[in-house]
Amino acid sequence: MSDGLKKGLTSYGDSGFSLFLRKAFIKGAGYSDDALDRPIIGIANTASSYNPCHGNAPQLLEAVRRGVMLAGGLPMDFPSISIHESFSAPTSMYLRNLMSIDTEEMIRAQPMDAVVLIGGCDKTVPAQLMGAASANVPAIELVTGSMLTGSHRGERVGACTDCRRFWAKYRAEEIDAAEISGVNQQLVASVGTCSVMGTASTMACVTEALGMSVPGAASPPAVTADRIRVAERTGAVAVQLAKSKLTPDKIMTANAFENALRVLLAIGGSTNGVIHLTAIAGRLGIDLDLARLDALGRETPVLVDLKPSGLHYMEDFHAAGGMATLLRELKPLLHLDAMTVTGRTLGEELEASGEGFKQDVVRSRDKPIFAQGGIAVLRGNLAPGGAIIKQSAADAKLMEHEGRAVVFENLEDLAKRIDDDALDVKAEDILVLKNIGPRGAPGMPEAGYLPIPRKLARAGVKDMVRISDGRMSGTAAGTIVLHVTPESAIGGPLAYVKSGDRIRLSVKSRSIELLVSAEELAARAKANPVTAPVAPRGYRKLFLQSVTQADKGVDFDFLRK
Ligand code: FES
Ligand code: MG
């Protein structure tokens, strides 16, 4: 009998009878004693009609099962929550912690010696790694892989950086309704995750850097043979993990998180990656602090030339050798002794990955896309707990900027006024949006990418400084200050900014300052105190009571270690 079937045995005083019942029920599905006497590999299956990013999950599942059986294990798949960015109201982030709880508890509840987690779309991989970290059963992540790029009138397009670019053209009346509908057909050319360096691709890369997936697992597109082979290998490695009992806490160490942050910075990765890594680390009692992120950022150049910071798409990164090419370039900056799921260290895997070759997607360190890491951490009286900016995707001219605030109180206010021709706004103003933080919206929606007011867009304005307590899609670009902490909905200084106030952004000195005196801010707070939102029942009540700020990963306080 494998350890797996005995795990977590509820005996109610008679463990022999309990095991007897377990076997009786599982034998109802036709399993033999021989099959059950093997390492049991759970496989979290997140296939869902609502999740085209996981549209290849059935093929991956088949390949994982094959890999498990070839290695002498017994595969047992089970469903878990599946979250797609576009079909998760009010926001996918609102559901990430719920999925992490589902994942953690089902790993714990069901007999398994190791688990394969099939994820891909933005919130799913972090949710699974958070759950796996807390359950601490040997685990391995398998991402679904990126979608293919499409073609619009001969121009290569992919979700979702080009979604935004074309929509901005449509808003500026540069293209018509017929053309935008043609573009819509091409942006998502196959199943799989967004084809640029958005959050899904970012999490795929940092998961490999963390050591939680097999080497080479980050980059193969969803519909390729390479992706299926990664799935088969993942199944085989899971059986090895079941035997070695190499648990997530031995892989996801403080050094592994530093490697992951290095990679996040070097790929020009999604700002969401910072929140997710903070949340995963928090499950293991590791504090990722923003000061350290900024310090790493100052010495880690952006090397991967992918949209939105650069030019290419994930399939090009794969053709260029994927993570092995990048890790070889970053080698002097990495902790090479960090353990991986294969039982070999990152350094040993890198050694085994062979030689590099000539390619033009991953730059060398002396010819970076951007000399510093993609993300800079800002502080100041507007964000005492920190804020971040994706400097690699920002307009260089706006990174040192002072301007007049044009304030929107919340998303409804923004929708009502942003395109009003009467709005008092100029290109050099700073757009401020409140109440889109963790508790504000709730769930910290990706609304930090405020649209350029229509009248300015028509006049050719492409970028403005924008500030909020929300997030931004990893596929977006612009001079956008995000994750302002503490958020306005709980009375952070952002709550008290008024239109006409002056704000100064200096990426060079890493500061974001509201040029209003502390006395005046205190008087405003006294005159209009903020009441934090609550809910009468259900998940929303739990969420609003327990969610932490961005600097703690937007996890629930009771789930952190
Ligand atoms: Fe799923 Fe972009 S919407 S990865
Ligand atoms: Mg996204």
Residues of the chain with pLDDT under 70: 1-4, 7-11
Ligand 1 centroid distance, CA of 193 (Å): 5
Complete edge-to-edge strand list for the sheet that includes strand 40-45: 74-79, 40-45, 114-119, 139-143
Q: Is 85 in the pocket of ligand 1 (CB under 6 A)?
A: yes
Q: What is the chain's percent helix, strand, coil content, to nearest 5?
A: 40, 15, 45
Are 242 and 117 members of one domain? yes
- The span from the CA of 222 to the CA of 272, in Å, is 22
Which residues partner with 155 through β-bridges? 152
Q: Which ligand is nearest to the CA of 474?
A: 2
Residue 113 domain flag: yes
- The span from the CA of 323 to the CA of 267, in Å, is 10
- The span from the CA of 434 to the CA of 292, in Å, is 27
Quickly count: other Cβ atoms within 10 Å of residue 49's Cβ. Answer: 10
Are 337 and 407 members of one domain? no
Per-residue confidence (pLDDT) for residue 12, from 0 to 100 = 77
What does residue 430 show for φ and ψ, rounded to 5 degrees? -115, 120
Ligand 1 centroid distance, CA of 36 (Å): 37
Q: Are strands 511-514 and 430-433 parallel, antiparallel or unpaired?
A: unpaired
Ligand 2 centroid distance, CA of 199 (Å): 5
CA-wise closest residue to 474 among 204, 239, 141: 204
CA-wise closest residue to 79 among 113, 115, 43, 110: 43
- In the numeric block, which tokens belong to residue 147? 């979608």
Q: Which ligand is nearest to the CA of 200?
A: 1
Per-residue confidence (pLDDT) for residue 2, from 0 to 100 = 58
> Are 56 and 222 spatial neighbours (Cβ–Cβ below 8 Å)?
yes
Which residues partner with 405 through β-bridges? 430
- The span from the CA of 231 to the CA of 81, in Å, is 20
Are 202 and 178 members of one domain? no
Q: Which of 125, 193, 195 to mutate to test the pocket of ligand 1 (most atoms within 8 A of CB)?
A: 193
Measured by CA distance, the residue closest to atom 2 of ligand 1 is 194
Ligand 2 centroid distance, CA of 118 (Å): 18
Are 421 and 475 members of one domain? yes
Domain boundary among 133, 165, 184: 184
Q: Is 436 in the pocket of ligand 1 (CB under 6 A)?
A: no
Coil, strand or helix: which one is 465?
Answer: strand
- Structural domain including 400 reads 376-533
- In the numeric block, which tokens belong to residue 240? 């090895």
- The angle subtended at Cα 471 by Cα 467 and Cα 472, nearest 5°, is 90
Per-residue confidence (pLDDT) for residue 445, from 0 to 100 = 94
CA 201 to ligand 1: nearest atom = 4
Residue 221 domain flag: yes
Are 178 and 106 members of one domain? no
- The span from the CA of 81 to the CA of 99, in Å, is 6
- In the numeric block, which tokens belong to residue 151? 């073609």
Ligand 1 centroid distance, CA of 123 (Å): 9
Residue 550 domain flag: no
Q: Tell me how many domains the chain contains.
A: 3
CA 193 to ligand 1: nearest atom = 4
Per-residue confidence (pLDDT) for residue 1, from 0 to 100 = 45
> Are 475 and 164 spatial neighbours (Cβ–Cβ below 8 Å)?
yes
Residue 416 domain flag: yes
* Chain position carrying tokens 């963790």: 438
CA-wise closest residue to 494 among 523, 465, 530, 442: 530
Q: Return the CATH number at 383.
A: 3.50.30.80
CA 53 to ligand 1: nearest atom = 1
Amino acid at 503: I
Residue 480 domain flag: yes
Q: Is 61 in the pocket of ligand 1 (CB under 6 A)?
A: no
Per-residue confidence (pLDDT) for residue 11, from 0 to 100 = 66
C-alpha distances (whole Å) from 316 to each of 193, 221, 305, 369 are: 15, 10, 9, 16
What does residue 223 show for φ and ψ, rounded to 5 degrees? -95, 15
C-alpha distances (whole Å) from 487 to each of 75, 471, 495, 557 are: 44, 12, 8, 16
Ligand 1 centroid distance, CA of 35 (Å): 37
Are 171 and 240 members of one domain? no
Measured by CA distance, the residue closest to atom 3 of ligand 1 is 85
CA-wise closest residue to 105 among 131, 128, 85: 131
* Chain position carrying tokens 């999604």: 270
Residue 376's contacts (CB-CB under 8 Å, 6 or more residues apart) are: 294, 297, 388, 389, 391, 507, 510
- What ipTM is given for this predicted complex? 0.94
CA 159 to ligand 1: nearest atom = 2
Residue 366 domain flag: no
Q: Is 349 in the pocket of ligand 1 (CB under 6 A)?
A: no
Per-residue confidence (pLDDT) for residue 187, from 0 to 100 = 96
Ligand 1 centroid distance, CA of 93 (Å): 13
Coil, strand or helix: which one is 44?
Answer: strand
Round the CA-based radius of gyration of the chain to a whole number and report it.
24
Q: Which of 85, 91, 446, 475 to mutate to test the pocket of ligand 1 (most atoms within 8 A of CB)?
A: 85
Q: Is 373 in the pocket of ligand 1 (CB under 6 A)?
A: no
Ligand 2 centroid distance, CA of 151 (Å): 21
Residue 21 domain flag: no
- The span from the CA of 156 to the CA of 311, in Å, is 11
Are 245 and 295 members of one domain? yes
Q: Is 122 in the pocket of ligand 1 (CB under 6 A)?
A: yes
What does residue 462 show for φ and ψ, rounded to 5 degrees? -105, -25
Are 476 and 339 members of one domain? no
Q: Return the CATH number at 289.
A: 3.40.50.2300
Are 138 and 160 members of one domain? no
For ligand 2, a single-atom ion, the residues with CB < 5 A are: 122, 198-199, 473
Residue 478 domain flag: yes
CA-wise closest residue to 505 among 415, 382, 419, 416: 382
Ligand 1 centroid distance, CA of 211 (Å): 23
Q: Is 121 in the pocket of ligand 1 (CB under 6 A)?
A: yes
- In the numeric block, which tokens belong to residue 427? 């290109």
Measured by CA distance, the residue closest to atom 1 of ligand 1 is 121
Are 348 and 465 members of one domain? no
- The span from the CA of 213 to the CA of 469, in Å, is 32
Are 451 and 516 members of one domain? yes
Burial class (CB in 10 A: 0-12, 13-18, 19+), 152: middle
3-class secondary structure for 180-235?
Answer: HHHHHHHCCCCCCECCCCCHHHHHHHHHHHHCCCCCCCCCCCCCCHHHHHHHHHHH
Ligand 2 centroid distance, CA of 189 (Å): 16
- The span from the CA of 74 to the CA of 32, in Å, is 11
Are 296 and 408 members of one domain? no
